[in-house]
Amino acid sequence: MMEAFITGIGWVTAAGLGRGREGRFSWGEGELPAISRKDIFADPRPHFGRMDRFSKFGLAGVAMALRDAGVESGANQTIGVIASTLRGCNDTDNLYLRTVQEMGAQFASPHLFVFVSGNTFLGEASIAFGLRGPTFLLSEQDLSGRTVLSTAIEMIVTNQSDAMVAGMCDIVPPDSGASNGSVSRQGALFFVLQKGSTKERTYGTLELNKQHLFFEKMPVDDISWLAARLSGR
């Protein structure tokens, strides 16, 4: 049995931005809100406005989770960040390809190309918050988030990182016609998992037994269930 403490929860969904100690998680309904730099950072970040939509949502979810855990400054730990996704940066792929096909390959957008590697937002989060641990994107069909949380626990227990920010980020392209209520979950939801924690800072213990995940002995089949259960308590 492997275990880690949940110390932070953060999200951005159709219901807005939120974090576990200040609100109740839900996926909400309808379209995702616009994210501005001021929602996440107090200081000017000229680069933020140029990020693709996928990166903005992912970065916002990571930021809210770190804020909830009180480790926005890294707290002198090695923190990694991993995320699960189904569609990844597919929206950005389409935008980039349009520059290639409409203007010619020699006029492809270098700016958009940087964001067609789905892991770029994890790098943005690493830079923004000084996270020097492992970073990678898990693309999978199952958006329950079990694999990404299991992976994070395993990485903490085996000393690959002191703490991990782990969760999911998935968005539907706004012009796909699928974003008006027909997609039940889109946005970003992240947890901060740590090796040790004070009683005041923890939501409880997440356990991994082989490939099965438990919170306080209850099976965890979906991270949104976990977020809904723990937030706003």
d(CA 132, CA 119): 15
Q: Does 211 bind other proteins (CB under 8 A)?
A: yes
Place of tokens 């740590």: 194
* Contacts (CB under 8 A) with other proteins, residues 142-171: 142, 146-147, 150-151, 154-155, 157-158, 160
Among 8, 10, 61, 133, binds other proteins (CB under 8 A): 133
The distance of closest approach from Cβ of residue 222 to other proteins in the complex, given in angstroms and rounded to an integer, is 13
Among 132, 181, 216, 221, binds other proteins (CB under 8 A): 132
Place of tokens 């979810």: 61
d(CA 25, CA 16): 9
**Single-letter amino acid code for the residue at 92:** T
Q: Please, are residues 105 and 52 in contact by the beta-carbon 8 Å criterion?
A: no
Nearest to 98 by CA among 173, 40, 191, 152: 173
Please report the sign of the dihedral spanned by the C-alpha atoms of residue 43, residue 46, residue 47, residue 50. positive
The distance of closest approach from Cβ of residue 232 to other proteins in the complex, given in angstroms and rounded to an integer, is 29
Q: Does 208 bind other proteins (CB under 8 A)?
A: yes
Binding site for other proteins (CB under 8 A): 2, 80-81, 84-88, 90, 93-94, 96-98, 100-101, 104-106, 108-110, 113-114, 116-120, 122-124, 126-127, 130-142, 146-147, 150-151, 154-155, 157-158, 160, 208, 210-211
